[in-house]
Every structure is written in C-alpha cells, then in structure tokens.
Structure 1
C-alpha cells in the first residue's frame, strides 16, 4: 500500500479503487483533527488562529510543489478565472469552518457540512445545467428537514452566528465542487495554494485590525496542526485518492471526518451535543448515505477522474 501510494504520488502508476478508498478515509480522519486543535486553543483569537492555519497550509503546499519536481511536477498551466474563484471559495470555506466551530458545537458544524454533496448537486444543476436525479431531489428534501432541526437547535442555545457560519459551509463546498468540475484539468494543488494564501492575507488583515498577530507557541502549534497537517497532509491524500474512486462514493468515504470530529471533542474537552443536534445530524447523514447507496449503480463503471467535493474544514 505505502509503495503504491509513493509511486502514484511521484506520477508512476495509479492506485486501485480500494487503495484510493483507504486514502480517502485516512484524509477524512486527518481533517477531523481541526476540531480538537481549535478546542485546545487557550488565548488566540479566531483570526489569529486562521492566519497561522493559512500560512502553514500555504507552506505545506509549497513544500509539496518542491517535492514533486522530480516526479510529476505541479503544473500552473490553465489557471483560469474559475480556478481563482475555486481557490477563494476554498479559503472562504476554511474561514467559515473555524468561525463556526468557535461559536457552535462541532456536531452542529460537521452535520451541516455533511449536506455538501446535496448542495453540490443543486448548484451543479443551476450553474452547469447538470441533470438532477429524482433520488437527489428526495435527498435534498430530507436534508432540508435535518438542517432545519439542527439550525433550530443552534438557535435555541443562542449560537445564532455560529449556526449561520456553519450553514454557509455546505454551500461553499458545493460551489467549490462545481467549480472544480468546470476546470477538471487543473492540478488540485493550485486551488489549495491559492486558498491558503488568500486565507493568510485576509485573516492577517483582520487580526492586525483587532488583536495583532502575536500568539503563544502552543496556540501557534495548534494552528499549524490544523493547517500544515490537517490540510497539508489531508488535501494531498484526498487529491490522490479520489482519482481512483468513483466520484459519487467520495463523500461517503469522507464521512470519517463528520463522525470523528464531534467524537474527539465529545471525549475531550467534553462538548456534549444536545439531542436535537444529534437528531438533525442523523437525518442529514441518513440522506447522504442513502443518496450514495442508490447512486451505486452509476458508479460501478470505471472510476471517474472528475474532481469531487472537498470538505475543507
């Protein structure tokens, strides 16, 4: 497995679907570290955390570009307006994710994130005129019920801004998915590099206007775990793995993040989600899993190389 991943990373050969699936589950597991990293922060403000998260993500992408020079170099050819927009959207998603986590529960944020595949289908229909299957329409209706339950729970506990930030995440992730499908030939490292740079600049400007950029070594290290490791390692694993897996199965494999992130902060520091959040989350997860299962017949052909939705948190 490790040898196959190393060779595929260097551009020598492709992964099997099972190997790609293992990488996607691993990517979701790595992505889930962000929730507990933020929960462990002591003094850093949201924008201070985001600044160092963005900077470490950018550094990780630059190191990846250097590492790939000897095998499959990162190509910057074909960087269009949509690629830039995808990068900005990815950066906005990362910002919304941290702002939501700091204002509402991890369970609320992650369960709403789980609705991203549904929004991707809806936005794809509006923007790309992609046909929406009847099963997708049913899943959208079920998801709307789950979102309403989850949002209602958030409003009850007074986290209005957190729920609003969290509600925007599936929309931006869905938009990112559609944008990447429109520029499927671009190297996936490029929008990630743009996202990290945009996140760093925008967050640094906000931090300088409020609290400055000075934070403790502990908080800075946690931000780097969230960016340099969770995104710096998770994104390359995702980008490599999804090429060998049918696109409709990708969100299901990434459910590892949705399940694990609330679990980590439930174990420590003891953030217990309320009953309504769990019910709403179960409805959303059920809709997405059901959609993936009924779409199985369309994914039993050769795996799609088309870019799929990234839950970049």
Structure 2
C-alpha cells in the first residue's frame, strides 16, 4: 500500500515559494517606472485588479476547479476565505495607505518587514507548526537581510503612522495563516477573489483622494505587472503553503526585497552597494539553513477525510472506478499509518511534536 518517495522533499514547495518571492520582488522596480504617471493609491488598485482580472480570464480558459484537478471552495471554507480577504485585501491596504501618509518612507520600509515576522510568529505560536533552532536562525537571518535593505539610517519613527503600518503587517500575517486553512482548494479562485477585492478597495481610495485613471497604455502595463507580480505570485504562494506550511513559506517569501533590489540594478541602473552585498550574504545564509533542513522522524497519520489535488503517492493509495488522470481532486479517505521520511508541515503532516 506504500511506495517510496520518487523526488526530494524540497519539491515542489521550495521552488514554488522562491518563484512566488521572485515574481513579487519584481513588482516594486517595475511599479517604480509607473509611479510618475499613476497616483500611488490608484497604482495599488490597478495592480490588484490586474491580478484579479487576469486570473479570472485564466480560470475561464482553464475551466472550473474540478476540471483543473483542484478542489472547489466549499461552505466550510467561506469563513476562512472571508477572513483572509478581509485582512489582506481590505484591512491591511487601508492601514498601510493611511500609515504611509503619517510616517516617513524609510521608517515604513523598515516596518513592512514585520509581515514576515508576524506570519512566522502566528504559525509557530498559534498554529504550532514545528520549528527548531536551525529554522529560527535561518528565518531571522533572512529577515535581518530584509531589514538591512530597507535601512536608510533614520530608524523607526514611533508614531501613529508607524502603528498603522505595523497593524497592516499583522493583518497580512493573519491573512497568510488564514489562507493556509484553505490552501487545499483551487488557488486560482482564492487569489482571484483577493485581487478583485483589494483592487476595488484601493481604486476606491485613489478616487476618493482625487486621483484619476491614467491612460490606456499605463493601465495595460500596470495590470500586466499586477497579474504576474501579485496574481501569479499569490497562486504560487498558496501552492507552497500546501507543501511547506506557513512559517517556511513566509521565510522564503521574505527574500522578495533582495530579488527586487537585484532587479532594480538591471532595470533601473541602481548601483551595487555594500549594504546590498551584506544583505545578500545574510539572506544567503538563511536560505542555506532552510534548504539544508531535513526534518525526519517516525510519525503517525491518523484517519483523515478531505479533498485536494493529489496523485497516487504513498499517502494516496485508493481505488477508482475507471481510469483517472493525475493530478485529480475528489473527497478521499486516509487510513491510519505509521512511517518515516523527510517531510514539511504540509496537508498530511500537521502533527504535533514532543
């Protein structure tokens, strides 16, 4: 009833998380090219609308979740989806925009690194994801690199604006952990809904602040960046959550500022600095500590029933009436079993540790 793993435990979660960070990291330098033509509120709205509309068109071409081998949203998923969209698509952007109006850019850039810390802290302290000293050191090395990249020598201003920016980071940390709860469902639908809601909210804020829609060419460029840098990135982030859990995905995602800084060198011609080199070294050490993790022990799988996209690996040994394609999605049962292999806190390994 069981078969050996045919691939590394790093696959596909780590490449998905790094790919998500790379696409998201590319969005700021590309967006910076558009800021001269677009109000910041309107820019944020169009980026998110590009993500939502682009993924909506993709879903129409691809077909529904069932046809794509993905589990569809069920009634039990709606509260978690609503919480994720509310925190990440409404509360966080609004807090951030108002915080930016009351706080310095340098202080806000530093505070935005709290999102990664909030994501990991909630995953470890509230949802009890497994963590050891190696992962902690790696995560803080990555975060230290991100903080260094944002540092402009002015420190953090502790005022109402700073509190609002920190609140936005906490809301995004909650969003990431709520999204983990529905990561077994079609990620395209989840990301599409997040993009549409956040897009409408931010465009509304832009219009309320007196902004107007830019030219058609600028709208097209902005929505294109949003589709890739936010939409596709978010789909990959949700898929990574399935395989890695929230804390590890959040740590890899924290590499986005460094990727953005590298792209800014090539796209905007920005100089290579000592700060960038040290930040890269810190993040490289943190990345190596995470990639070299090998969490392996004998563990029990309790009886479980759920639905998600899967292939017939060692955790999915069940019969079908007729031939089926892989991957596919349907409601299925897992019998109790005990075995040992390297694993992350994915959909089937969210067990406790002594």
Aligned to 1:228: 227
Tell me which of the two structures has the higher relative contact order, counting C-alpha pairs closer than 8 angstroms and 6 or more residues apart.
Answer: 1
The answer to whether the 8 A contact 2:48-2:196 is kept is: yes
**Correspondence 1:299-310 to 2 at 5 A:** 301-302=342-343, 304-306=345-347
Aligned to 1:40: 33
Residue 27 (structure 1) shift: 3.5
Moved more, 226-235 or 200-209: 226-235
Q: CA RMSD in A?
A: 4.8
Aligned to 2:87: 89
Residue 49 (structure 1) shift: 0.9
Moved more, 262-271 or 141-150: 141-150
| Unmatched segments (≥5 aa) in structure 2 | 1-5, 298-340, 349-354
Residue 59 (structure 1) shift: 0.9
Change (3 A) 1:87 1:190: farther
Change (3 A) 1:155 1:161: farther
Change (3 A) 1:176 1:19: same
1:58 pairs with one of 52, 58, 64: 52
| Unmatched segments (≥5 aa) in structure 1 | 1-13, 308-313
More strand by share: 2
The answer to whether the 8 A contact 2:16-2:236 is kept is: yes
Residue 46 (structure 1) shift: 0.7
**Correspondence 1:65-214 to 2 at 5 A:** 65-66=59-60, 67-69=62-64, 70-72=67-69, 75-77=72-74, 78-91=76-89, 96=96, 104=105, 109=109, 113=113, 117-130=116-129, 133-135=132-134, 153=152, 155=154, 171-214=170-213
Aligned to 2:328: none
Aligned to 2:22: 29
Task: Give the number of aligned pairs.
Answer: 290
Change (3 A) 1:217 1:154: farther
Q: TM-score, normalised by structure 2?
A: 0.61
In 1: Cα distance, 2:153 partner to 2:218 partner: 27
Moved more, 241-250 or 30-39: 241-250
In 2: Cα distance, 1:274 partner to 1:191 partner: 39
Q: TM-score, normalised by structure 1?
A: 0.67
The answer to whether the 8 A contact 2:142-2:254 is kept is: no
Change (3 A) 1:164 1:86: same
In 1: Cα distance, 2:217 partner to 2:162 partner: 28
Larger radius of gyration: 2
